[in-house]
Structure 1
Amino acid sequence: MTPPPRPLASARQTPSVPLRRPPLRRRKARLWARPCTVPRFWRMIDDGEKRPALPPPHLFDLWITILASRSIPYLLAGRGNKLRLYVPALLERQARSELEAVLAESRKPRPAYVEPPTHNNAHWVLALLLLLILWHGVRMHWGFLAHLPGLPDLPPEEWSRLGSLDVFRVRVLGEWYRCVTALTLHADSQHLFGNVLFGAPFLILLCRRVGLGLGIFLILLAGTFGNALNALYRPAGHISLGFSTALFGTVGVLSGFMALQGWGTRTQSDTGKLSWRRGILLLAAGTGILAMLGTEGDNTDYAAHLFGLLSGFIVGGAASWISRRTGLPSRGTNALLGLCAAGLLVSCWRLAL
């Protein structure tokens, strides 16, 4: 006999518990996918440089040129920031080594600019400027300088008449020696000391770089050419004198010499460009000084200053070109050039007297 069934218990209301779902795995977004056109066993390569951004497109052109020159097959896939370069797996090591070699070649340090040897001759330059002051004292009859043996006793106006740059006498009578003698004359003491104070730093810099004899020779040459161009430019009644043409010629010589120094050598891309920038910067500074000081006053011959600056640049460039092929002149050659400059001055004044 079977026991009677138990009565069913009343269903209790149980609170619903939410089911815990397993955490979702965050999938990383794939920024780049291998193109289907690339063979399976080809490898993506670069030059091994760690860059904060992707290589620029023009760099891929360089890599393609390198691989093509080495006969390495390549495949360039993608566009924009998805551009990639692929090579066969067997040639991956060779391709990477070629790209890394080019990268290492571009990282080679550039040769430093080597300054040419300098000459410690500032005291000699100041001594020459002192001679220029004493020569002005001879003309103006300063004390014991009034009557020196061997020199004619002439009034200051006569000295100026005999040696100044008289355009009529230069162009019509052929007295071209006045282009030299006019450099040693000054209208008054203010004119003289202004030229000395302005020109002393540039004279010292030039003679420190090229030597005393060559520096004085180039300054005299630049001043003479500047006066000659001024005589051709000015009307027949123009008269000028002063050392300021040679001083602006000094700025031109220094800038021309520095601009062309090292240009055309094996290190043209480094030393030549640096010296060119320095020379042009110095020429621009000379032009600025010419604009500020070289055009002041009613009696200022601005054309002579400008022609002196341009003549100096040409003379300095020619001297740099010659010295680059023959080397800077030796001590004996420097002394000989200095004597030539002094002889030219004496000869021109003998013609004037």
Structure 2
Amino acid sequence: MKLILKFKRKKKFNEIVLLFSAMGINFRVLKEGDYKIIVVPDEEREKALREIALYRKENVLYYFREEEKSYVERRALIYYSIIILFFSLYLFQMIDVNFLPEYDLKGLGALVIERTKNSEFYRLVTSLTLHADFVHLLSNAFFGGIICYFLFQYTGIGFGWFMVMLSGIMGNFVNIFFHENNFVSFGSSSAFFGALGILTSTGIYERKGVQVSKGYFLPLASAVAIFSMFGVSPESDIGGHLFGFVSGLILGVLFSLIKGKLSKRKMLFSALSIFLGIFSLFTVVISWYLAFKNFKP
């Protein structure tokens, strides 16, 4: 009995043709509409099937190893990006203490409601990079680092940092309308509660479309539990945490829609992710440039 193999994909067809040619297997090629057909005579049937099985087994192992290697490398990049961010924030925090004592970074960049409303909008960004002390920074690094680690495995680093920053900015912007003009706030926790919101909504929504997944309750309940434990302490900016979290929920849905649209255009998605990562860094640098530019001794 002859072995008949039908192919619609040119790549698969070419792979089998090369395999049979290399193994010295006799075959004929026919065409039927959009399909290409390989016909192997009865005496070569067993050998052809055996070679195809071995070929597929070797390739599965190869692709698995490549995928595993890619995953490990991607995970390492996530580690490094998180460590570099918080180390940079720590060094930046030391500027006004050890190197430039004439500058009051908190005065320059904190979210002072009155000044922010009076056109100093860069404070929506700069306040996210400031912390009261090392303990404040360390607690945010622990909480935010864990959330971002899991988030970036789904979104990628560039998209991830951009959305985390944007959720913090959005949370700060809404927050200024719920406080008196003398209210002052700073810290990256608003952005990291935004990251929690993004992680929650991407867990609720499936990658394709806006269909709610069956397991929507678990990520939402987990997020509410984490927010209740860490986001409502009396000395914290509860409004910033809440509005950052809600902003993150919205951004997570938008990201799921974008990723679904670009699921077959990986190069475009990667390029966009790189651009947004660079844009995020540029936004922070420009914001602090404006803050220092407005410095008055």
- Give the aligned partner of residue 138 of structure 1: 92
Question: Where do residues 118-129 of structure 1 align in structure 2 (5 Å cutoff)?
Answer: 120=72, 121-129=74-82
Question: Where do residues 14-29 of structure 1 align in structure 2 (5 Å cutoff)?
Answer: none
- Give the aligned partner of residue 226 of structure 2: 289
Structure 2 residue corresponding to 1:318, chosen from 254, 274, 294 = 254
Q: Matches of 2:102 and 2:93 in 1, distance apart?
A: 7
8 Å CA contact 1:185, 1:243 repeated in 2: yes
Q: Matches of 2:218 and 2:258 in 1, distance apart?
A: 22
Q: Matches of 1:262 and 1:139 in 2, distance apart?
A: 39
Aligned-partner SS, 2:201: helix
Shift of 1:263: 5.4
Shift of 1:287: 1.8
8 Å CA contact 1:260, 1:320 repeated in 2: yes
- Give the aligned partner of residue 168 of structure 1: 114
Aligned-partner residue type, residue 159 of structure 1: L
Shift of 1:219: 0.6
Shift of 1:297: 4.4
The alignment of Structure 1 onto Structure 2 pairs a total of residues equal to: 219
Which of structures 1 and 2 has the bigger CA Rg?
A: 1
Q: Relative to structure 1, is the Cα distance of residues 243 and 294 closer, same or farther in structure 2, using a 3 angstrom cutoff?
A: same
- Give the aligned partner of residue 25 of structure 1: none
Shift of 1:133: 2.9
8 Å CA contact 1:136, 1:185 repeated in 2: no
Shift of 1:193: 0.3
Q: Matches of 1:288 and 1:248 in 2, distance apart?
A: 12
Aligned-partner residue type, residue 258 of structure 1: G
Q: Which has the higher helix share?
A: 2
Shift of 1:119: 5.3
Aligned-partner SS, 1:228: helix
1:228 aligns with 2:173: yes
8 Å CA contact 1:199, 1:247 repeated in 2: yes
Structure 1 spans left out of the alignment, 5+ residues? 1-116, 148-152
- Give the aligned partner of residue 350 of structure 1: 289
1:66-101 Cα offsets, whole Å, 9 max, x none, are xxxxxxxxxxxxxxxxxxxxxxxxxxxxxxxxxxxx
CA RMSD after TM alignment: 2.4
Aligned-partner residue type, residue 138 of structure 1: F
1:27-60 Cα offsets, whole Å, 9 max, x none, are xxxxxxxxxxxxxxxxxxxxxxxxxxxxxxxxxx
Q: Relative to structure 1, is the Cα distance of residues 344 and 233 closer, same or farther in structure 2, using a 3 angstrom cutoff?
A: same
Q: Matches of 2:129 and 2:78 in 1, distance apart?
A: 16
Q: Matches of 2:149 and 2:289 in 1, distance apart?
A: 29
8 Å CA contact 1:255, 1:282 repeated in 2: yes
Report the TM-score, using the length of structure 1 for normalisation. Answer: 0.57
Aligned-partner residue type, residue 90 of structure 2: H
Q: Relative to structure 1, is the Cα distance of residues 346 and 318 closer, same or farther in structure 2, using a 3 angstrom cutoff?
A: same
